[in-house]
Structure 1
Amino acid sequence: MARNGPSIPERDRDAPAPRPGGSSPPTDRVVAVLEYLAARPRESASAVARALGLNGSTCAVLLASLERAHWVERAPDKTYRLGAGLLSLCDAMRARFPLLGAGHVLLRRLSEELGCPCVLTRIHDDHILVVAAAGGSELAGLRADRRFPIDPPYGAVAVAWRSESELERWLDLAGPPLSRGDRARYRRFLAGIRERGYAVWRLDEGDVPLVGRLREMLDALRGDSRSEALRERLARLFASYGRYGYLSSEIERDRSVPVSYMIAPVFGPDGQPHYEIIVQLLRPAMRGAEIDEVGERLLAATALLSEQIGGARAGRATAFR
């Protein structure tokens, strides 16, 4: 027998997906509302409730609590938007990630100039954290807190300026273990990164059609909250293309080669990379001269950000202004 009463509203396809694990439903609702409003200029309480599948009165009470904390603001037309009370949280995040503001602006400019997605990552001891992206989300995945391990082939630019013993420990992290010849090639690759100031990653010829198909699949799934897990797996597969870096001797000005990514470091006061800018080119053919031009733009951009954090190796920022 059917039960009388209000029907449960369907979740909006663009709404944040439910969080797995041992979560707290009341807290999850607060997070979902803030994430939903963060993606829109403003919304009515009924629209928020409908999109997130919340009871109308529950959503109204939640928004009222957030309004008292100044985390949301209620406009005269009874719509809601994020409030000024969140600025203190933004300040705390800027203190932790000082390049957030300048990094976003620079990534957008670089993405427009190169016509490809660009990503800013923060280098930690055992992982690389995506903190900002522009021009597309294939590499960054769904969230700005996406993490990558620091083990071969990941992290080459992050570790290139470390000591010989640290580089050997990094090479030991590879799975399966690297052969003697592979280790020797990696050492030459790391030396080339230090010489040029950036890394160039190869796109295998057979990967080109697969990359195009993966891009189509990711675009088709965008906005479908029910497919978040699948999109995450596809995004990780997408990011795996270009696992082999070019040696300096393999790039010649008049010779064309397929390129997946180019990566350059943002140096901190200690002379070590603290951040990276990744440009997701995914081009089946680039002449060495074109690679050099992109490299110069990339070095100028990273030098500008290095200056922002007192980087010891800053020096080409004027070329990007």
Structure 2
Amino acid sequence: MVELLATAEATPLTLAEICRELRISRSTGHAILTTLCSCDWVLRDPVSGRYALGAGLSAMYRHATTTSRLLREPLQELCSAIGVSACISELSNGAISVIASASPNTTRPPVQAGVTLPFVAPFGREFVAWAAPADRERWLDAAGPVNDVYRARMPKILNEIHERGYGIERLSDPLLKVFGALLAVEDGSAPDPVAVRLAGAVADLTIVDFLPGELAEIEEYPLATISAPIFDGQGNVMMTVSAQPYTKLTQQEVRSIGARLVEFAGHASSLLAPRVPPAATQYLDGKR
């Protein structure tokens, strides 16, 4: 219901229109709207009787719901084309938030909408691979102390993602364990110190992404995600789209999925750029 009202923000809807669109009974619709109104999530015009989003929902949340609705069908088409689940993520309050997910079949995606991760290295590489050197350094430093091998490798990885057009996440036992732990401590409200330290554990215990000389070995490793950036009209990364294979892939399959993701990202950019509020691009300096 919130998604419906977000897309109809310019033209508030009546109870009958809402119930008809969502295929629910009038009594059910009225009960839900009454609850939303009591929380100030929805406002009812006393004259027209029409409903619109209320002040209890932030402008950024309205943007997120509108975005997920806009990209839902294209994302589903992408999943069908590549044969694996996919999701779209954005930055909010110092965290990476999954705002939409889809699967090519009836199974649930490994990473679903609503999941949040801390925006510290090595998570969110596709957001910073196109950023200025100082912004890259701040992102790297946010994870705290890490081993020297990782520290020397990560700038090369960011350069490779920039050149390749997409990042690759290896699937490993440490990654799965840390991911599970992050889901338990992250609520997306603010960067959590425990979550930040857990992210640093991924840096210390895993090999991140692939450098050019390592691609020959890619078929030996199961892959968690392949992710490409979605740019706004000013060339800033505003979101990412990620395939979720969670299995081994050949080099050709990785390149094929990567190309599809880049193509999708270009289409999404053209759809979303006019709708993105100025604050949406201010993610590296904590203004978002």
The TM-score, its normalising length taken from structure 1, stands at 0.56
Structure 2 distance, partners of 1:247, 1:63, is 51
1:108 and 1:134 in contact (8 A); partners too: yes
Higher relative contact order (CA 8 A, sep 6+): 2
**1:81-140 C-alpha deviation (Å, 9 max, x unpaired):** xx97357999x7796245333311111111222232211111246221221111224312
Partner of 1:106: 74
Partner of 1:274: 238
Q: Residue 120 of structure 1 aligns to a residue in which SS?
A: strand
**1:166-193 C-alpha deviation (Å, 9 max, x unpaired):** 1112111124x12332111001110011
Structure 1 distance, partners of 2:266, 2:255, is 16
Counterpart residue type for residue 267 of structure 1: F
| Closer/same/farther in 2, CA of residues 111 and 163 from structure 1, 3 Å limit | same
- Of 106, 110, 128, 1:138 maps to 110
Q: Residue 251 of structure 1 aligns to a residue in which SS?
A: helix
2:82 and 2:260 in contact (8 A); partners too: no
2:72 and 2:100 in contact (8 A); partners too: yes
Structure 2 distance, partners of 1:106, 1:243, is 32
CA RMSD of aligned residues (A): 4.4
2:211 is equivalent to residue 247 of structure 1: yes
1:126 and 1:149 in contact (8 A); partners too: yes
| Closer/same/farther in 2, CA of residues 290 and 166 from structure 1, 3 Å limit | same
Partner of 1:158: 127
- Of 248, 263, 267, 1:304 maps to 267
1:127 and 1:148 in contact (8 A); partners too: yes
Q: 1:31-46 alignment to 2 at 5 Å?
A: 41-42=23-24
**Who wins on radius of gyration, i.e. which is larger?**
1
Q: 1:78-93 alignment to 2 at 5 Å?
A: 85=51
Q: Once the two structures are aligned, what percentage of the paired residues are identical?
A: 24
Q: Residue 252 of structure 1 aligns to a residue in which SS?
A: helix
Q: Residue 244 of structure 2 aligns to a residue in which SS?
A: strand
2:63 is equivalent to residue 96 of structure 1: yes
- 5+ residue gaps, structure 1: 1-36, 49-59, 72-82, 212-217, 219-229, 312-321
| Closer/same/farther in 2, CA of residues 139 and 298 from structure 1, 3 Å limit | same
2:86 is equivalent to residue 118 of structure 1: yes
1:123 and 1:274 in contact (8 A); partners too: yes
Aligned length: 223
- 5+ residue gaps, structure 2: 1-18, 43-48, 188-194, 275-288
